[in-house]
Amino acid sequence: METTVKNRVVDVYTEMTPNPETIKFVSDVSLYPNKAADFPDEASAKESPLATELFGFPFVKGVFIMNNFVTVTKTPEADWLEITPTLREFVKTYLEDGKEIISADYKPTGHATQSSEEDVVNKIKEMLDSYVKPAVEMDGGAIQFKSYHEGKVELLLQGSCSGCPSSIITLKAGIEGLLKRMIPEVQEVVAESI
C-alpha cells in the first residue's frame, strides 16, 4: 500500500462541506486509496504523520483522510478566510515532499467486532447530519434515521424525496455508498416514504 506521494508538483484545492466547521483539501494525487482514516483528536493521530503535523496548528480540531482528500475540522473561533491559505499550502508542500501520510501500522477503528450497535447508530446519524441532510434539504426534502439492525439501515424519506423517481438512485448510489465506505458495519440502506 502506497501512502506517500513521489516528488512532484501537486495541485491542492479546497471544497466547502455542509459542515461549516470543516473544509476539504482535495489533491490531484491519491492519499489513502479506497480507505478512510478518521482522527477526531490529536491523540488518535499517532499513526498518521500528516494528521499529527496538522494537529500542530492550534486551530485544527479534527482530521479525516480518504482517497485524494484531507478534511480538516477547525476550532469554532478560527476563521476559514484566515487559515485556509496556510493549511492549503501546508498540505501541498507536505505532499510534494513525499512524506508519509498514513503509517503501515495504522489500524482503523470501528470494525463490527469493536463497535456496539449504539456506536454504529451514532456514526450513521452523524454522517446523515453532516453530509446527507443538507443536500436533501436543498432539494426540498428531508431524510430521517429510522432504525439500524444487523447491517441494515432504514431511513424515512419526506417532502420532495417521498415518491421522487431519483430518490432510489440517491439512496443506493449516494447514501448507501457513503455509509458503506465510512461505516464498515453498514451492509444495506432502505427507505420508507410517507
Q: What is the DSSP string of 120-135?
A: HHHHHHHHIIIIIHHH
pLDDT on residue 72: 93
pLDDT on residue 84: 97
Q: What is the Cα–Cα distance from 112 to 151, expressed in whole angstroms?
A: 9
Which region holds residue 125: left if phi is over 0, alpha if psi is between -120 and 50, else beta? Answer: alpha
Quickly tell me which residue has 507536505 as its cell: 94
Report domain 117-193's class: alpha beta
pLDDT per residue, tens digit, the chain (194 aa), is 344 445 679 999 998 876 788 899 999 998 987 677 888 899 999 999 999 999 999 999 999 888 888 999 999 999 999 999 999 999 999 999 999 999 988 877 644 344 578 888 988 988 888 888 887 777 777 788 999 988 999 998 877 676 677 777 778 878 888 888 888 889 999 987 54
pLDDT on residue 11: 94
Domain boundaries, the chain: 12-96, 117-193
Q: Judge contact between 52 and 42, C-beta under 8 A.
A: yes
pLDDT on residue 27: 93
DSSP designation for 45: G
**Number of CB atoms found within 10 A of residue 188's CB:** 13
pLDDT on residue 4: 47
Q: What is the Cα–Cα distance from 161 to 166, expressed in whole angstroms?
A: 8
Domain spanning 12-96: CATH superfamily: Scaffold protein Nfu/NifU, N-terminal domain (3.30.1370.70)
Sign of CA dihedral 130, 133, 136, 138: negative
pLDDT on residue 7: 62
pLDDT on residue 193: 56
pLDDT on residue 112: 38
pLDDT on residue 83: 97
Please give the model's pTM, rounded to 2 decimal places: 0.59
Structure-block grid coordinates of residue 147? 432504525
DSSP designation for 104: T
Residue type, 131: Y
Q: What is the Cα–Cα distance from 139 to 141, expressed in whole angstroms?
A: 6
Domain 117-193 in the same topology as domain 12-96:
no
Quickly tell me which residue has 434539504 as its cell: 137
Q: What is the Cα–Cα distance from 26 to 91, expressed in whole angstroms?
A: 9
